[in-house]
Every structure is written in C-alpha cells, then in structure tokens.
Amino acid sequence: MLTVSNDEFWEDVTPVNFGSLPRLQDGVTVVGYPIGGDTISVTSGVVSRIEVTSYVHGATELLGVQIDAAINAGNSGGPAFNDRGECVGIAFQSLKHEDAENIGYVIPTPVIDHFITDYVRNNDYTGFPILGIEWQKMENPDLRKALGMKSTQKGVRIRRVEPTAPAFAQLRASDILMSFDGIDIANDGTVPFRHGERIGFSYLVSKKYSGECAKVKILRDGKSKEFDIDLVNHKRLVPAHIKGKPPSYYILAGIVFAAISVPYLRSEYGKDYDYDAPVKLLDKLLHSMSQSEDEQLVVVSQVLVADINIGYEDIVNTQVGDRSTRVQKEFLCWSGGVNGWQCCGFQ
C-alpha cells in the first residue's frame, strides 16, 4: 500500500469507488499505460468467466475475473471499471498462448477488500489462509463406494495434509471432506456461488483471515465427524517471496550454499524457470510439503575457485540432502583439511 506524505497532493482529487463483483457478460473498461505510447490507453470488453484462478505472481489461487479486453504489459495495476464508473477490479495478468486471444484477468473487489481489511486489522499484510490439504475429486462412483460413501453423501477425498498446518492433528489421508463452515461440497469440489453458478470450495477458505477458525465435516471409516480447524498462512518449502530481504547464503571452503526460493529460481533460469529449472527442484517447488516450520531447501549454488575443492567446479544448483548426490556423499560429509571443517549441519 502506498501513500503520499504531502497533504496538498490530495487536494481536488476524486477517489475511485469500488463496485460489487460483476456478472457474466457485464461490460468492463480497462485503463492503463501498455507498451506503445505515453498517453493513457482504454480497452473494453465483457466478463467471460468468474472462478478461482492461479495468481502467477502470488503463487496462489484466489477468486479471479476473466475478461476479453486486451491486457498487456503496462496495464497491470490499472483499474477495470464497470458501466457506472465503479472500479470492479485491478488488471494483473493475461494468458499468452498461440491458441488464445484477448484473455485477461483482473483481481476482483472481494479480494481487494480482504487485503485492505487484513491490513487494517493487523497493521500489516498477513495474507490469505489455507486449510492445509491436498485433495482429489470424487466423481468416480467406484472410488466413492470403495471409501464407504453413501449415494446421498458428497465431498472430496483428502490426499495429503500439510505437516505444518493445524489440520494435520485432526485430518487424515483418505478422509472425505463433505462441508466447510456448513456449506456442502460437491464431488467435483465446488460449492454454490451465486444464482446458477458454482465455484471451487477454496473460495470459502480465501474469505477467511489468518488465525480464524472453520468448522469442517468429514467422513472417516463410514462415520461423520466434525472438527474446528484453525486456518493459517501457507508455509511453503520453496517460498514464493522473500519479502524484500537479501537472499541467505553460506560459503564454506569455496562452496556456496543457498536457500531455494522462487526469486532465486527466477534469477538462475529466467522468467520460464518453471520449465527450465532442474526437474528435482521443480518437483520440490510444486509437490513437496514442509515437514517443519524452519525447514529450507538448500543447494550448492556454485563452487568458487580454491585449492581444496579442485574437481568439484561442475557442481551447480545441486540439492543438499539428497543422499545420492555427489556433493553429499563425497564432499559435505568429509571431515578434516582446512580448519577441520565438517558438513556444517546440512543433512
């Protein structure tokens, strides 16, 4: 959030009013400064889809509004207005694909309101909470039967529970999550949204605030159970942001150890890091869960020139802790040499 300390700046300024969440086919106008000129640009279109969508920069999934107005670099952060001049969202990303044209996304006002309310409550941004589970759809009738679900029961199967989430003490793999805060979850993972619309149940989780509690109903071994579960922020093994802090590293005998984060991967492999980074690191980024609050993924970032590490110059971005790696077996666990250094706790 930004402000200006000089009060004169605000003289004769008319604030923008936020509008409600638009409906399908509502007209929208996007204002910004995209590539190709110095004056303001205005593009228009309609709302084509409203669903929980992936926020690329935030590495999360929240409510998003898809529009067919052109959104290009320079439009990000610009407002999207409805036909009454109210701001119904903020442009933030677009889909670039050879088979797609004019697919843009705006952050809707419910997400913006959540951000502002969160800041007012805590004098800081704490983020959107998670339930802390990985789940799968239950549309397969044989799978429902195998897990003891009756024909009248619906829900989604919990595949894994985050070890660092409060839900880990109450939920288990193969539990059937049937409702969240009293709202029934369908076999495809959706819940009622507006008249004639449905949306992924993670939308209900995103409406809550960190530290709040939610009541969930599950089916376990053919019996229904209810739990009150605290909702917390996501503790990622590979964090999406380092919050403006300088990256951490440690140098030992010319070996540079670094903690992996998305900014680190982007600096090493460019904006297409999610395609170009090593498969082992991408697997950790996309699928691994933190086993403890302070767990970090550490790699040998590079090997600096030194007599003690001759022969190890080709080790780059190799994960520390993988027992099969050369650096783990041959180098880190060696003891002796200069100052009698050892493996320094990286296991």
Residue 217, beta-bridge partner list:
179, 226
Provide the pLDDT for residue 322: 55
Choose one of 93, 122, 151: the last residue of a domain: 122
Percentage of the residues of the chain whose pLDDT score is greater than 70? 91
14 and 116 in a common domain: yes
Provide the pLDDT for residue 35: 79
The answer on pLDDT for 60 being more than 90 is no
Cα 288 to chain centroid, rounded? 14
What value, to the nearest 5°, has the Cα angle with vertex 321 and ends 317 and 323? Answer: 105
Chain segment 95-138, per-residue pLDDT in tens: 877 776 778 899 999 999 999 999 999 888 888 999 999 999 99
Provide mean pLDDT across the span 38-64.
89
- pTM of the complete model: 0.82
Note whether residue 171 is domain-resident: yes
The CATH number covering residue 193 comes to 2.30.42.10
Note whether residue 244 is domain-resident: no
The CATH number covering residue 263 comes to 3.20.190.20
- Domain range holding 253? 249-335
Note whether residue 320 is domain-resident: yes
Provide mean pLDDT across the span 231-242.
90
The CATH number covering residue 40 comes to 2.40.10.10
Q: How many domains does the chain have?
A: 3
Provide the pLDDT for residue 73: 80
What value, to the nearest 5°, has the Cα angle with vertex 103 and ends 95 and 234? Answer: 50
What is the DSSP code (8-state) at residue 331? Answer: I
Chain segment 244-298, per-residue pLDDT in tens: 888 889 999 899 999 999 999 999 999 889 889 999 999 999 899 999 988 999 9
Which tokens belong to 262? Answer: 């998305």
46 and 110 in a common domain: yes
Q: What is the DSSP string of 27-69?
A: EEEEEE--TT-SS-EEEEEEEEEEEEEEETTTTEEEEEEEE-S
Note whether residue 188 is domain-resident: yes
149 and 70 in a common domain: no
Q: CB neighbours of 151 closer than 8 A, spacing ≥ 6?
A: none
Note whether residue 2 is domain-resident: no
The answer on pLDDT for 90 being more than 80 is yes
The answer on pLDDT for 196 being more than 50 is yes
263 and 200 in a common domain: no
Chain segment 238-259, per-residue pLDDT in tens: 998 888 888 889 999 899 999 9
Where residue 63 falls among pLDDT bands split at 50, 70, 90?
very high
